[in-house]
Chain A
Amino acid sequence: MASATSTLDTMVLSIAQSLSAVERTFYKLPGSAIIERYVRSSHQNDPGRTFLELIIFFLVVRTLLQSRTRADRNNGKNFIEFTDKEIDELVEDWVPEPLSKPLDDVEAAELAAIPVVAGHNGPHPTLVNTGKPTINLASLNFTGLANNEHVKQRSLEAMRRYGVGSCGPTGFYGTFDAHLQCENDIAEFLDTEGAILYSQGFSTISSAIPAFCKRGDIIVADRAVTLAIQKGMEISRSTIRWYDHNDLHSLEEVLQSVEKERRKRKGPLTRRFIITEGIFERDGTMTDLPKLIELKQKYKYRLILDESFSFGTVGRTGRGLTELYNVKASKVDMLVGSCAIGLCASGGFCAGSRTVVEHQRINSPAYVFSASMPPLLAVSASEGINILRDTPSLLTRLQENVRAARVLLDQVECISIPSHPASPIIHLYLRNNSSSDNLLHPSASMSSSKPSNPSSPIPRDPPVFDIEKEERLLQEVVEEAMAQGVMITKAKRARGLEITEAQPSIRLAMSSALSKADTEKAVHVLVKILKRKFR
């Protein structure tokens, strides 16, 4: 008994001794006083507080030690443990879908009916499909630069100077003097501080948007923007608000609601962008630029304007919407255009202030991670600009042809034309038998009813159309016209990949390379087919 207490005593004593030794060494440590003070002040005779701090401390340690790469796996209770044998069985059982569905008959027939040009494309190409020369209302050759001998000659010379490929991304010896020259020419032409050249028109805007818009930023976009813009916005991960197609009244409402939302949340100031097109790829409508600029300035948004179809096609010398409305191009923060469409070369550009341009040179994926455009195409784009600048008659002729075509087309009852009268691309919708005429002017029908939900890309009264049927009918028209020597095309879509489906349409592209008589002749053929088919 006594021996037991004595052993206990010695134990207690030795523990006390070692504790005091630990204490002494602790105080000898540099900085120990600070820790002590911290513990004392946080403890404050309340063990609960110390306990809480300890818990927090352990949580922090645990988080730090946790492997980050396996987060996916340990993501909650969802992970099921399997034995190797079970996994083998699951692997055995799993049957993947085929990588791609083969085309069905309709799709295959449509692919086979795609017009294929033999040799030089231009106003009167010969088609492989029919073997006959046709009048071309399908290819994008608005100002006829594709057939310009001077451009061709200069491009040939450029090829003999630079070769074909640039063999490198812009950052690493892929920036040729031809590219710099082209960028300068564009900037000068538009009167902006600078411009940056991308190697594909489509990828220009879908890469420029994520270069500026990041998570948390706000984008207010038109409901009918083209796929390239949709994809760019998707990559950007920004918050997207939609306004009704080409309805600036709806835009203003959305801008107000965004502002209200921000005030309510008292969030920090984020970047805000309005993204829309000059002439819409989907239907050829045109944005009222002065009003848009006014709204953008009032609500302090930046404007990303896709002028792919308006640059090189409208305005006195083809400078696009800014020239048409006499607005300074520098008022558009990011003016995106296409050298492929407007200048019959290749690639695209984004013009704007020096900051805007230089920012993209480092942050825009399609610029940074892609080989630069072949220098000879940059040269042909530069030449295109020179020609546009010096020959305004090209644009006048284009507008004459547009007017001539519209005069004929506007009389046709079975179709409706959403496109702006000055737009060089003319979309033809089949007019539904029912009285859904309103869908052409969504703003008109919408003004009375409640506005659409800005966070959904689908408008309140979505237009009704039967994609399959209309596509089929239009395809028949297209093929018939082709048989009669007029090359036209439907507006081709990647169905199922766009956010909202566009109404099927025939898309005519006017060209100043065609004479007025030829244009009228071709449109007349089309009108006759339409009239006969949809009486």
Chain B
Amino acid sequence: MPASSYPTSPMALNRGSSPTSSLFKKQKNSSSSPSTAASYLSALSQADARARNAQRGTPTSTPALSLSSSLTSSTEDTVLAEEDTDDSDGLAVPVGKPPNSEQLYTTVHTEFGHCYNEEYRNISQHPLGAPIVRHVDQEPPYYILFSTYISYLILIVLGHMRDFLGKRFHSYSYRHLMPHDGYAPLNSDFDSFYTRRLKQRMDECFLQPVTGVAGRTISLLDRYTPDYNHTQIMLDTRTRALNISSYNYLGFAQARGGCADAVEEGMKRYGVTFCGSRLEGGSSDLHILAESVVAKFVGMEAAVISSMGFATNSTFIPALVSKGCLVISDELNHASIRFGVRNSGAHVRMFKHNDMKALESLLREVISQGQPKTHRPWKKILLIVEGMYSMEGTMVDLPTVLTLKEKYKFYLFVDEAHSIGAIGPHGRGVCDYFSVDPRKVDVLMGTFTKSFGASGGYISGNTALIDRLRIRGYSGAYAEAITPPVLTQIIASMASIMSIDASVGLAVSVNKLGLPTSSSSSSTLHQVTEYHHPGPISQRALPHWLSLPPPLASGAEGLMRLRRLSFNSYYLHRGLDKLGFITYGHPSSPIVPLLIFNPAKMIMFHRMMKDRKTPIVIVVVAYPATPLVTSRVRFCVSASHTKEDIDSVLRACDEIGDVLDLKHGLSKGERWSVNEVCERAVELVHIPDNEH
């Protein structure tokens, strides 16, 4: 099959009639579901032929948005372009109904799964006025807690015995832990005890080298260890696995498709690097454009971009607060926030995770007491919370925080590393989710790694603040500027979520999708100069050379991604609950932690998931990232997963959960069977939050 390059792709042609109805109409006519690879492919070629005939009929209707850059023809956005169609692992070919011609050619199934069933969508939004459902931690039975503690005890005792004997009988291998030649050990045996004696036992769960795109599936580079994880030997083989671990919430980790084409164009125009820091000759027009796009996306006046997510916090927080200021920080805040706060010299107080009562009493205490010893009033108080917590999947109670903010006059810094793009009906993070004006928050920080398939981070706020940060944050003067390919990816992915408003000529009628547009959708030459949050972005606010294919430009695909992500999050969360597991976090969060407790079960869970016919790779996290007893598996669902993918994760969990005795949530009577969960998925997802 020849490569069908984007501007002349069959998809482009249907825009004239009605892109929305054809994209999202339920396909009821396909009666039988060919499930084999062969039948799928034949359906595909038929569809393609149909589309091409249509193309010959109406060759003139090229949309305005795709005029430039017909050079990006190297993409082969067809299912057939995958490296191999070997479907022995059940990951290469979509299950279920074949798509029709309009639905093809946008993604590669292994990167971004094909899922055309309109029922598998959900809108991520907090119902206005509804009470916020607080997460209640479920307690496991006592025998589980007991056995967990015993396991750790055994591991620790054994470890110490091995150390004791090893130092005496095998001293050479302990050399780096003992003082030698007048050097103190780089790492004392005490400090590294946990790493050597506990973590090393489960090293196969960490630092797994991979290759390819970290999309819906990922290719593991197989390795084995001959000596209990002291060394890892790489094999030449690869295993393709279902990836429910990467931070790829909206599925923008793609090597092909509209965004990747844009990145290629960006690299051709800007190269790979900007050589130097932003203030010392590393700035470019692309930075300025990208920053304005980000500011519009999050709904703030201005934004500044840093080349690393971790560094966004660690290098900008010291520019916000200093000695004499107080930082109030949630106890589960990310390490980068702690790093930055420690560098700032400000005083820090912590409050219990997400506990608004504790926060208020702390606020009353610190404001009334003032600075320690001197009792002088604080210069300023900065509350730092995360929109969504990476280990718990819990969401900040933003409305309450804002009420407190009004009363106690602190400044609010929300780290949206995991929530931006991932939640809210328009993907604009927690503010969007709770329908709150983002400008009520002083500083919105976020990263591009998670939802946008890029890297780096941003800080946004009012113009005065951001300008101050540009020259006062370390990133501006000392750290390298973010690179062109990453910037282009950010611009392209954000624009496709916002939808592009061409404003003149062919107006993109996005209203039919239910996407609120500020501009009138009438075909008058009404020029939208001002941006209304959250709305489409004007074509003129984007690089002139950026041309996204219609489904991305119209926002239809972005919306589809948001809704698929929300569906998948709810489905996995509630599915696991119904199967009887203990999960943490908010159901709309794409992070779904499943509690495992016993340390030995973590490695077993990991291995059993990976050794299945359709291998699934998962992330297990344990102490010190979590409290000692609550070791967990952390699933990160993505818009790129199909409902069938989530089904297979649920089935796998169900089987393994029975073997490993992990079901301690719902009592047996209330549980659903896995078949019931899969069949009633849509119903499950649409239960309102407070009734579940």
Does A452 belong to the interface (CB within 8 Å)? no
- The answer to whether B310 touches A173, judged by C-beta atoms less than 8 angstroms apart, is no
Q: Distance (Å) between the CB of B74 and the closest chain A CB?
A: 8
Chain B hits for A159, CB < 8 A: 255, 260, 263-264, 267, 485
Chain B hits for A362, CB < 8 A: 195, 199
Let me know if A168 and B342 touch, CB within 8 A.
Answer: no
User: Which of A56-64, A88-96, A285-293 is near enough to bind chain B?
Assistant: A88-96
Most buried by B among A162, A217, A487, A507: A162
**Interface pick from B125-133, B242-250, B501-509:** B242-250
Selected contact of A202 from candidates B186, B447, B479, CB within 8 Å: B479
Interface centre among B243, B452, B486 (most CB of A within 10 A): B486
B686 nearest CB across to chain A (Å):
29
* Cβ contacts B453-484/A at 8 Å (1 or 0 each): 11100000100110111111111111110010
Check if B168 is an interface residue, CB within 8 A of chain A: no
Q: Are B209 and A180 in contact (CB under 8 A)?
A: yes
Return the CB mask of A92-105 against B: 1 if under 8 Å, else 0: 00111111111100
Contact with A along B38-50 (1 / 0, CB 8 A): 0000000000000
Within the assembled complex, what's the spacing in Å between the Cα atoms of A149 and B638?
35
Q: Does A114 reach chain B (CB closer than 8 Å)?
A: yes
Question: What CA separation (Å) do A86 and B311 show in the bound complex?
Answer: 41
Chain B positions 335-385 with a Cβ under 8 Å from a chain A Cβ: 335-336, 339, 342-343, 349, 363-365, 367-369, 372-373, 375, 377-382
- B272 within 8 Å of A by Cβ? yes
In whole angstroms, what is the CA distance A103 to B472 when docked?
10
The one of A231, A338, A492 that contacts B280, using a Cβ cutoff of 8 Å = A492
Q: Taking the complex as formed, is A136 at the interface, i.e. its CB lies under 8 A from any CB of chain B?
A: yes
Asked whether any CB of chain B lies closer than 8 Å to the CB of A464, the reply is no
Q: Which of B287, B335, B339, B411 contacts A99 (CB 8 A)?
A: B411
Q: A140 to B272, Cβ gap below 8 A?
A: no
- Provide the bound-state CA to CA distance between A146 and B481, in Å: 13
Which of A138, A235, A355 is within 8 Å of B343, CB to CB? A235
Most chain A beta-carbon contacts within 10 A, residue among B181, B184, B191, B309? B184
Q: A117-B285, A227-B474, A235-B342 are in contact. Are A177 and B221 (CB under 8 A)?
A: yes
The contact string, 1 if C-beta is below 8 Å from chain B, for chain A 112-154, is: 0011111111100000100000001011110000110001100
A119 to B544, CA, bound (A): 12
Given A117-B285, A202-B311, A235-B342, answer yes or no on A73-B365 (Cβ-Cβ < 8 Å): yes
A91 touches B407 (CB 8 A): yes
Find out whether the CB atom of A509 lies under 8 angstroms from the CB atom of B276: yes
Q: Which residue of B lies closest to A230 (CB)?
A: B343
Contact B215 A163 (CB under 8 A): yes
Chain B, range 290-310, C-beta contacts under 8 Å to A? 307-310
The complex places the Cα of A168 from the Cα of B464 at a distance, in Å, of 33
Interface presence of A272 (CB below 8 A): yes
A38 within 8 A of B: no
Contact indicator B210/A175 (Cβ below 8 Å): yes
Contact B273 A340, beta carbon cutoff 8 Å? yes
**Interface SS of chain B: helix, strand, loop or mixed?**
mixed
Confirm or deny: A450 has a beta carbon within 8 angstroms of a beta carbon on chain B. no
CB distance from A103 to the nearest CB of B (A): 5
B449 within 8 A of A: yes
Residue of B nearest to A175 (CB): B209
A340 to B311, CA, bound (A): 15
The answer to whether B282 has its CB under 8 Å from any CB of chain A is yes
- Please pick, from B199, B454, B617, the residue contacting A164 in the complex, using a CB distance under 8 A: B454
Q: Which of chain B's residues have a CB closer than 8 A to the CB of A373?
A: 455
* Chain B residues, CB < 8 A from A94: 367, 377-378, 409
Inter-chain contact B269/A120, CB cutoff 8 Å:
yes
Q: How far is the CA of A147 from the CA of B215 in the complex (A)?
A: 31
User: Do residues A167 and B246 form an inter-chain contact, with CB atoms below 8 A?
Assistant: yes
Q: A72 near B: Cβ within 8 Å?
A: yes
Check A203/B308 contact, CB under 8 A, given A100-B468, A167-B248, A340-B273: yes
Residue A392 at the chain B interface, CB threshold 8 Å: no
Closest to B490 in A: A164
Chain A min CB distance to B68 (Å): 15
Contact A494 B473 (CB under 8 A): yes
Residues of A within 8 A of B210 (CB): 173, 175-177
Contacts A119-B285, A200-B311; A114 near B278 (Cβ below 8 A): yes
- CB-CB under 8 A from B156, the residues of chain A are none
Q: Which residues of B contact A359 (CB under 8 A)?
A: 186-187
Interface contact A96-B247, CB-CB below 8 Å:
no
Distance of B234 from chain A, by nearest CB (Å): 8
A202-B474, A235-B339 as given contacts; A166 in contact with B368, CB under 8 Å: no
Let me know if A493 is at the binding interface, CB within 8 A: yes
Of residues B287, B310, B407, which shows the largest number of chain A Cβ atoms within 10 Å of its Cβ? B310
CA separation between A377 and B373, bound complex, in Å? 50
Indicate the size class of the contact surface on chain A: 35 or more
The residues in B between 230 and 289 inclusive whose CB is less than 8 angstroms from any CB of A are 243, 245-248, 252-256, 259-260, 263-264, 267-285, 287-288
Nearest B residue to A164, CB-CB? B489
Q: A492 and B255 in contact (CB under 8 A), knowing A102-B468, A377-B272? A: no
Q: Is the CB–CB distance between A271 and B184 below 8 Å?
A: yes
Known: A79-B369, A497-B472. A340 touches B480 (CB 8 A): yes
Contacting residue for A97 out of B268, B336, B379, CB 8 A: B379
Q: Is A460 an interface residue (CB 8 A)?
A: no
Residues of A within 8 A of B260 (CB): 159-160, 163-164
Indicate if B212 sits at the interface (CB-CB under 8 A): yes
Q: Is B208 an interface residue (CB 8 A)?
A: yes
| A488 to B, closest residue via Cβ | B281
A377 with B319: in contact, given A79-B369, A111-B471, A369-B310 (CB under 8 Å)?
A: no
Give B279's nearest chain A residue, CB to CB.
Answer: A492
Distance from B337 Cβ to chain A, minimum over Cβ atoms (Å) = 10
Is the Cβ of B310 less than 8 Å from the Cβ of A370? yes
Q: A173-B246, A371-B247 are in contact. Are A139 and B282 (CB under 8 A)?
A: yes
Query: CA–CA, A203 to B248, complex, Å?
Result: 24
Q: Given the complex of chains A and B, what is the CA–CA distance between A181 and B281 in angstroms?
A: 30
Q: CA of A355 to CA of B177 in the docked complex: distance in angstroms?
A: 10
Closest residue of B by beta carbon distance from A91: B367
Stretch at the interface among A247-255, A341-349, A397-405: A341-349
CB-CB under 8 A from A235, the residues of chain B are: 339, 342-343
Query: Which residues in B have their C-beta under 8 angstroms from that of A194?
Result: none
| A206, A341, A363, most chain B CB atoms within 10 A | A206
A302–B184 alpha-carbon span in the complex (Å): 10
Expressed in whole angstroms, the Cα–Cα distance for A447 and B260 within the complex equals 60
Pairwise interchain contact A117-B284, C-beta atoms closer than 8 A:
yes
20 contacts between A and B (CB under 8 A): A102-B467, A110-B471, A117-B281, A119-B269, A146-B273, A152-B272, A156-B264, A159-B260, A160-B260, A163-B213, A164-B253, A166-B455, A177-B211, A177-B221, A199-B455, A203-B479, A269-B183, A359-B186, A370-B308, A494-B471
Q: Please report A residues at the B interface, Cβ cutoff 8 Å.
A: 72-73, 75, 78-80, 82, 86-87, 90-91, 94-103, 107-108, 110-111, 114-122, 128, 136, 138-141, 146-147, 151-152, 155-156, 159-168, 170-178, 180, 199-203, 206, 212, 214, 217, 226-228, 231, 234-235, 269-272, 281, 300, 302, 338, 340-341, 344-346, 355-356, 359, 361-363, 365-366, 368-371, 373-374, 376-377, 380, 487, 489, 491-494, 496-497, 507, 509
6 tightest A-B CB contacts, nearest first: A138-B281, A202-B479, A370-B310, A340-B480, A200-B308, A139-B275
Q: A120-B269, A139-B281, A167-B246 are in contact. List 14 more A-B contacts (CB 8 A).
A: A79-B369, A99-B411, A114-B278, A138-B281, A160-B255, A164-B260, A165-B452, A168-B246, A178-B211, A270-B184, A362-B199, A374-B455, A376-B272, A377-B273
Hey, which bits of chain B sit against chain A, CB under 8 A?
74, 111, 176, 179, 181-187, 191, 195, 199, 206-215, 218, 221, 243, 245-248, 252-256, 259-260, 263-264, 267-285, 287-288, 307-311, 314-315, 318-320, 334-336, 339, 342-343, 349, 363-365, 367-369, 372-373, 375, 377-382, 407-411, 442-443, 447-450, 452-455, 461, 464-465, 467-480, 483, 485-486, 489, 617, 619
